[in-house]
Structure formats: structure tokens, C-alpha cells
């Protein structure tokens, strides 16, 4: 089957985007994600998004990780999704809404000299309630500053829901050996019945944080939008950082603003990589 696609990235977090009409088989989207995201046998990407019609918003976004699991939300992905629908002429306005499994998000296209240079997204509020995240924390009102022991190492973790579950670990030094060794172990730790994304964060100063994320369902990625937003939310909550933050990831910089009402606004890049036709066969 021949499926037209575009590939975009947001700070190095890369995505394949297709229209629902090109492949209207919802039950098989996870299979399509596994195969098309494969970096040897497919196009290669961290995730797959499908653009569909919505009854409640201007568009509906389906998001799948490269391992085929569906996720409620993707911060870098939604910016790429917004640029895609705008560039394709599917929407004329620069402000519009996108339905996700984490609710309806409002996006704004930021354009200079006729081309999109960034997208701003109202990410909503972070949720601390253990049941909603979900995280096992009997009777507790949150899962902030808890200790997880793995082998001989202890991690001080805070877990929140920013559309998807995120665990934040502040550290003085970002060590990729630690990220890649303990990220996958914490992702599947018994505390988290649906798994968790894992963010290691170094506070540079109150306006600047560096983050490395191990993503649930995709492994280490060059940036994670919901992850960066969660890190800023937790840093703000613990009085470790201010309201306006620049966050460096390996793939680029995102700007996060924590509003007075605790809503979080994320601004960051969305860039085209290529477009073409994916020749989808079912052999991997």
C-alpha cells in the first residue's frame, strides 16, 4: 500500500505524519507505527501521527510511539502536527485547536517572512494526583520527592501527569550512561502501572534548565516536549526555578512559561525534513 507522508522534527524529536484518509484503519495504526518508525526497515522516527477530523476541535491527533503504543499527548509532536496542517492549507487561522486523548489543546503558529519558525502550545496544567498519573502511592496526595532505589543507587524522583506520565530527577551532572542505564528501568518500575517517561534535569540557573529524557515507548530521544514542560512545572513547584524558562535538550531549545493560573505554555521549533510515499508492506 502506498501512503503519502511528511516527516518533521521538533528539537530533534522526529515524527512521521499522515492523513487519516491515506490509511483509515485505526485498529492497525500501531502496526503502521512500528514498521514506518523503524530506522532500518522503515522511514525512521520516534513516533507516528495521524491527522483526522474532530467533532469538538479543528483537528484530531492520533499519536503512536515507535514501539506501537498509543500515547495521550506529545508536546514536540503537536507542534509538528500544527505546522503540517497549516502548511497543507487544512486551516487558514494561526490559532486553532487539536483534540488529543489528553484533552483539546490550543496552538498558535508563529510565522516570519511567510514561513513557520515556531509553534506555541497551551499545554494545560500538570496533575499531581497519583491515581490520575497513575503511580502507586497509597493514600498520598502526590508523588513529589520520593526515593526509588535501584541496585545500589537512590534517585529522588517526582512524578506528574502532563498529558502523559513523567518522572523528574534533578541532578548536578547529566550523565548519559545513567540516563540510558536507569531510564529504561525506571520507565517500567513497579510504581508505574502504565510506565513513565523519565527526565534527568540539571538546573543551570532559575531561568535555564538542561534536560535529557528517556521516553516510554521510544527510548532515548533528543527532546521531549511534555517532559520539558513537566520538568519546569516540578522545578517551579519546588521553588527551584522562575516562571519563564529556556530548556536545553540535545536537539534544541524550548521555552516554557508557567502562567499565574498554573497553565503552562510551550514554544518551540517545528521543521520539515522530507516528504514522500511510504511503501507499506507488512514484513519487518
Q: What is the binding site for ligand LBFN2T5F (CB under 6 A)?
A: 13, 65, 71, 74-77, 164, 197, 215-218, 221, 224-226
Min dist CB 152 to ligand LBFN2T5F, Å, is 28
Which is it for the CA torsion 52, 226, 145, 180, positive or negative? Answer: positive
- The string of DSSP codes covering 212-237 is EEEETTTEEES--HHHHHHHHHHHHH
* Residue placing its CB nearer to ligand LBFN2T5F in the complex, 72 or 206: 72
Catalytic residue from among 37, 80, 224, 232: 224
At CA 125, angle to CA 162 and CA 51, rounded to 5?
A: 60
Residue 76 known to bind ligand? yes
13 assigned to a ligand binding site? yes
Does residue 37 carry a catalytic annotation? no
Omega prior to 134 cis, within 30 of 0:
yes
Annotation-wise, does 225 bind a ligand? yes
To ligand LBFN2T5F, the closest distance from the beta carbon of 56 in angstroms equals 21
Beta carbons within 10 angstroms of residue 203's beta carbon: 18
Q: Which of these is catalytic: 37, 74, 80, 232?
A: 74
Determine whether the annotation assigns residue 216 to a binding site.
Answer: yes
Residue 260 CB, nearest approach to ligand LBFN2T5F (Å): 24
Active site residue 224: yes
User: Residue 206 or 246: which CB sits closer to ligand LBFN2T5F?
Assistant: 246
Residue with cell 501527569: 161
| Residue 226 known to bind ligand | yes
Least Å distance, CB 83 to ligand LBFN2T5F, is 14
Cα R_g (the chain), whole angstroms: 18
Dist CA 77 CA 66 (whole Å): 13
Give the CA dihedral 20, 22, 27, 31, nearest 10 degrees: -120
3 state SS of 49: strand
At closest approach, how far in Å is the CB of 237 from ligand LBFN2T5F? 19
Nearer to ligand LBFN2T5F, 128 or 206 (CB): 128
Alpha-carbon gap, residue 245 to 12, rounded angstroms: 19
CA distance 67 to 78: 19
Judge whether 65 is annotated as a binding position. Answer: yes
In the complex with ligand LBFN2T5F, the residue whose CB is nearer, 12 or 206, is 12
Q: Which is nearer to ligand LBFN2T5F, 120 or 226 (CB)?
A: 226
Burial class from Cβ neighbours inside 10 Å (0-12, 13-18, 19+) for residue 225 reads buried
Binding annotation: 13, 65, 75-76, 197, 215-216, 225-226
* Residue numbers annotated as active site: 74, 224
- List the binding residues for substrate: 13, 65, 75-76, 197, 215-216, 225-226
Amino acid at each position: 500500500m502506498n501512503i503519502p507522508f511528511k516527516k518533521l522534527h521538533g528539537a530533534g524529536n522526529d515524527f512521521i505524519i499522515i492523513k487519516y484518509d491515506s490509511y483509515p484503519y485505526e485498529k492497525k495504526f500501531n502496526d503502521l507505527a512500528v514498521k514506518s518508525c523503524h530506522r532500518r526497515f522503515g522511514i525512521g522516527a520516534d513516533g507516528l501521527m495521524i491527522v483526522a477530523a474532530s467533532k469538538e476541535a479543528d483537528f484530531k491527533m492520533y499519536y503512536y510511539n515507535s514501539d506501537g503504543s498509543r500515547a495521550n499527548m506529545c508536546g514536540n509532536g503537536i507542534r509538528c502536527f500544527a505546522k503540517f496542517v497549516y502548511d497543507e492549507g487544512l486551516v487558514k487561522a494561526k490559532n486553532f485547536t487539536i483534540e488529543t486523548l489528553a484533552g483539546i489543546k490550543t496552538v498558535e503558529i508563529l510565522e516570519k517572512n511567510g514561513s513557520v519558525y515556531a509553534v506555541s502550545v497551551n499545554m494545560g496544567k500538570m496533575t499531581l494526583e497519583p491515581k490520575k498519573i497513575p503511580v502507586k502511592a497509597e493514600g498520598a496526595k502526590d508523588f513529589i520527592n520520593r526515593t526509588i532505589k535501584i541496585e545500589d543507587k537512590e534517585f529522588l524522583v517526582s512524578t506528574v501527569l502532563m498529558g502523559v506520565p513523567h518522572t523528574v530527577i534533578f541532578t548536578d551532572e547529566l550523565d548519559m550512561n545513567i540516563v540510558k542505564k536507569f531510564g529504561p528501568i525506571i520507565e517500567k518500575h513497579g510504581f508505574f502501572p502504565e510506565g513513565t517517561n523519565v527526565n534527568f534535569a540539571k538546573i543551570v540557573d532559575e531561568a535555564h534548565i538542561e534536560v535529557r529524557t528517556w521516553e516510554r515507548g521510544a527510548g532515548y530521544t533528543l527532546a521531549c516536549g511534555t517532559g520539558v514542560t513537566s520538568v519546569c512545572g516540578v522545578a517551579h513547584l519546588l521553588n527551584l526555578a522562575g516562571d519563564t524558562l529556556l530548556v536545553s535538550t540535545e536537539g534544541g531549545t524550548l521555552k516554557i512559561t508557567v502562567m499565574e493560573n498554573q497553565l503552562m505554555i510551550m514554544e518551540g521549533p517545528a521543521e520539515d525534513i522530507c516528504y514522500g510515499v511510504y511503501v507499506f508492506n507488512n514484513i519487518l
